[in-house]
DNA sequence: TCTGGGGTCCTAGGACCC
DNA sequence: TCTGGGGTCCTAGGACCC
């Protein structure tokens, strides 16, 4: 059996830990630049706020219902996530961290009759130890565990835990389960399935295997099998290395100056390089992209990217930045209002797998290595971006974050005060 | 005025190899 | 008249996830 732990309304729940007065009220957390809603409390869902809706369209509903909105505070959410995962890790045979708010649990070696007690105790431990509500679903495959988790959220009587093991229980559930809510079936396939009269997970598994393969490829077939209890998606141990590393942002206001874009690209290149060194990787490809605002009806559109292939693998920020910037020079055009840009590192291998090149001296390599580790050390000790390259500039890129809570658990300056 | 930021995997088709 | 049969690698784009 596989379990899936899912933190309820995760970002909102994180905000509520340090501000209990938010309990019972409609609360939302916004994306970067306070653009869209990316997390909603159950009260916010009830009054009809949809996932991903832009803030400016919600002005009225927010006023009418006294909705409380927060800017996203990722240092806080990341730290709370790590605490949840730690409890899961020490209390179960093995877990796979699947996202910031979800983890699969390996129950394969645990007798069926013990799973339920473990599940309920995990929910209590996390509530008490970290302060957030979680739901747990358990079944024969990861895809079915996802279904079970959804049920545990849907029905309060489950107290956040749902175990689906009996064949008859599973088919009873699947008969009512909308096919578009199945893990692995997205918008496009839902639409296609609907056109063939398939609307529930049960109708989906009744379809012929060959038909599924032809219409939905090998991944669709996997989902089809998983729903029938056949294990196709295994549990990953450890976090696999990233194959691509991307840093990108939308700007608070449009940029049309080369200089401004240059600073942004240099900053993002530097962040990506830092992430690359963190996973002890080196890359050989850099992709940069610049986009104009897709929502603007007037104005010129220009979406362009450049791929730079380096002659040697590197993790050196200076090399990555200067190449990213020459890429920008090649695609930048005057007269456009740019809204977003980003830097993607690709063609990544582990640094230890690197074959030393004939043309760089040992001296140069070790110089580069020590420079980078000193940079990383300073930034880790004195705070992110304490030391930056001149290209990135000293001013930070402005983002709208007017509704930000404090970094209660990761910054001494923001630590909570107790007033006597 | 105002619309997120990350990722992964699969597939089809073209270029190329012998 | 008739024009092989087996591969690999790369890339762009689509689908999906949170």
Helix, strand, coil share (%) of chain A residues, nearest 5: 45, 20, 35
In a domain, A395, yes or no: no
Q: Which two tokens stand for residue A337?
A: 């209002």
CB of A131 nearer than 7 A to strand B: no
What nucleotides of chain B have any atom within 7 angstroms of a protein Cβ? 1-11
Residue finishing a domain among A164, A198, A223: A164
Q: Which two tokens stand for residue A83?
A: 């605490």
DSSP designation for A3? E
Report the relative pairing of strands A338-350 and A281-292 from DSSP bridges.
Answer: antiparallel
CB of A369 nearer than 7 A to strand B: no
**pLDDT tens-place string over residues A76-96:** 999 999 999 999 999 999 999
Residues 176-205 of A with CB under 7 A from strand C: 182-190
**pLDDT tens-place string over residues A13-46:** 999 999 999 999 999 999 988 999 999 999 999 9
The pLDDT assigned to A236 comes to 84
CB of A128 nearer than 7 A to strand C: no
CB of A260 nearer than 7 A to strand B: no
Report percent pLDDT > 70 for chain A: 99
- Domain range for A80: 1-164
* Nearest alpha carbon to residue A286 among A262, A257, A250, A315: A315
Same domain, A175 and A189: yes
Q: Residue A273 CB: number of other CB atoms within 10 A? A: 29
Start-to-end CA distance of chain A, whole Å, equals 50
**pLDDT tens-place string over residues A249-293:** 999 888 899 999 999 999 999 999 999 999 999 998 999 999 888
CB of A99 nearer than 7 A to strand C: yes
What 3-state DSSP class applies to A404? coil
Residue finishing a domain among A100, A129, A164: A164
CB of A340 nearer than 7 A to strand B: yes
Q: Give residue A240's pLDDT band: very low, low, confident or very high (50, 70, 90).
A: confident
* Backbone φ and ψ of A365, nearest 5°: -65, -45
Q: Which two tokens stand for residue A35?
A: 């653009």
Q: Give residue A306's pLDDT band: very low, low, confident or very high (50, 70, 90).
A: confident
* Nearest alpha carbon to residue A403 among A153, A83, A67: A67
* Nearest alpha carbon to residue A266 among A352, A325, A216, A198: A325
In a domain, A396, yes or no: no
What 3-state DSSP class applies to A30? strand
CB of A31 nearer than 7 A to strand B: yes
Residues 314-333 of A with CB under 7 A from strand C: none
* Nearest alpha carbon to residue A118 among A141, A100, A91: A91
In a domain, A298, yes or no: yes
CA-to-C1' span, A100 to C9 (A): 35
CB of A246 nearer than 7 A to strand B: yes
CA-to-C1' span, A252 to C8 (A): 46
The pLDDT assigned to A197 comes to 95
In a domain, A405, yes or no: no
In a domain, A411, yes or no: no
Nucleotide nearest to A216 (CA to C1'): C15
Nearest residue to nucleotide B6 when comparing alpha carbons to its C1'? A246
CA-to-C1' span, A367 to B5 (A): 34
Q: Do A92 and A106 touch, CB atoms closer than 8 A? A: yes
Same domain, A159 and A178: no
The whole-number average pLDDT for the span A53-67 is 93
Nucleotide nearest to A344 (CA to C1'): B6
Number of structural domains (chain A) is 3
Same domain, A176 and A106: no
Question: What is the DSSP annotation of A167-212?
Answer: HHHHHHHHHHSBGGGSTT--HHHHHHHHHTT--BHHHHHHS-HHHH
CB of A244 nearer than 7 A to strand C: no
In a domain, A235, yes or no: yes
CATH number of the domain to which A220 belongs: 1.10.150.20
**pLDDT tens-place string over residues A333-354:** 888 889 999 999 998 988 888 7
d(C-alpha A419, C-alpha A416), whole Å: 10
Same domain, A28 and A114: yes
Q: Give residue A385's pLDDT band: very low, low, confident or very high (50, 70, 90).
A: confident
Which of A164-173, A198-207, A402-411 shows the lowest per-residue confidence on average (mean pLDDT)? A402-411
Nucleotide nearest to A183 (CA to C1'): C17
* Backbone φ and ψ of A303, nearest 5°: -115, 120
CB of A38 nearer than 7 A to strand B: yes
Q: Do A288 and A328 touch, CB atoms closer than 8 A? A: yes
Nucleotide nearest to A100 (CA to C1'): C18
H-run or E-run covering A39:
strand A37-40
CB of A162 nearer than 7 A to strand B: no
In a domain, A96, yes or no: yes
Q: Do A93 and A110 touch, CB atoms closer than 8 A? A: yes
Same domain, A91 and A104: yes
Cα angle: A107, vertex A185, A210; to 5 degrees: 95
Same domain, A125 and A54: yes
Q: Which two tokens stand for residue A210?
A: 């060959």
CB of A219 nearer than 7 A to strand B: yes
Residues 53-112 of A with CB under 7 A from strand B: 54, 56
Same domain, A264 and A352: yes
Q: Do A181 and A187 touch, CB atoms closer than 8 A? A: no
What 3-state DSSP class applies to A283? strand
What nucleotides of chain C have any atom within 7 angstroms of a protein Cβ? 14-18
In a domain, A251, yes or no: yes
CB of A102 nearer than 7 A to strand C: yes
Nucleotide nearest to A185 (CA to C1'): C16
CB of A101 nearer than 7 A to strand C: yes
């Amino acid at each position: 059996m596989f379990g899936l732990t899912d933190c309820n309304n995760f970002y909102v729940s994180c905000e509520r830990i340090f501000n209990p007065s938010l309990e019972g009220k409609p609360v939302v957390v916004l994306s970067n630049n306070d653009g869209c809603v990316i997390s909603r409390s159950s009260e916010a869902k009830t009054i009809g706020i949809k996932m991903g809706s832009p803030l400016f369209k919600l002005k009225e509903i927010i006023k009418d219902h006294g909705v409380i909105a927060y800017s996203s505070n990722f240092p806080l959410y990341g730290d709370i996530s790590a605490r949840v995962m730690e409890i899961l890790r020490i209390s179960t045979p093995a877990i796979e961290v699947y996202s910031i708010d979800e983890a699969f649990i390996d129950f394969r070696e645990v007798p069926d009759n013990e799973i339920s007690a473990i599940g309920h105790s995990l929910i209590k431990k996390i509530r008490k130890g970290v302060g957030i509500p979680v739901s747990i679903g358990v079944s024969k495959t990861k895809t079915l565990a996802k279904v079970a988790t959804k049920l545990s959220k849907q029905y309060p009587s489950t107290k956040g835990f749902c175990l689906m093991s009996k064949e008859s229980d599973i088919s009873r559930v699947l008969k009512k389960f909308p096919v578009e809510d199945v893990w692995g079936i997205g918008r496009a396939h839902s639409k296609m399935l609907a056109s063939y009269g398939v609307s529930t997970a049960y109708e989906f598994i009744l379809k012929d295997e060959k038909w599924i393969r032809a219409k939905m490829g090998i991944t669709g077939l996997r989902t089809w099998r998983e729903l029938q209890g056949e294990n196709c998606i295994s549990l990953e141990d450890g976090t696999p290395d990233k194959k691509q590393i991307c840093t990108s942002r939308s700007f608070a206001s449009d940029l049309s100056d080369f200089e401004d874009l240059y600073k942004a690209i240099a900053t993002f290149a530097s962040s990506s390089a830092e992430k690359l060194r963190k996973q002890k990787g080196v890359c050989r490809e850099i992709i940069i992209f610049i986009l104009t605002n897709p929502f603007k009806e007037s104005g010129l559109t220009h979406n362009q990217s450049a791929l730079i292939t380096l002659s040697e693998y590197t993790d050196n920020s200076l090399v990555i930045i200067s190449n990213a910037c020459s890429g920008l020079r090649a695609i930048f055009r005057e007269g456009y209002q740019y809204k977003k840009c980003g830097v993607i590192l690709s063609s990544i291998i582990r640094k230890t797998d690197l074959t030393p090149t004939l043309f760089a001296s040992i001296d140069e390599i070790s110089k580069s290595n020590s420079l980078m580790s000193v940079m990383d050390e300073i930034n880790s000790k004195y705070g992110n971006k304490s030391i930056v390259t001149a290209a990135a500039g000293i001013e930070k890129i402005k983002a709208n974050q007017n509704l930000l809570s404090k970094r209660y658990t990761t910054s001494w300056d923001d630590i909570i005060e107790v007033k006597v």
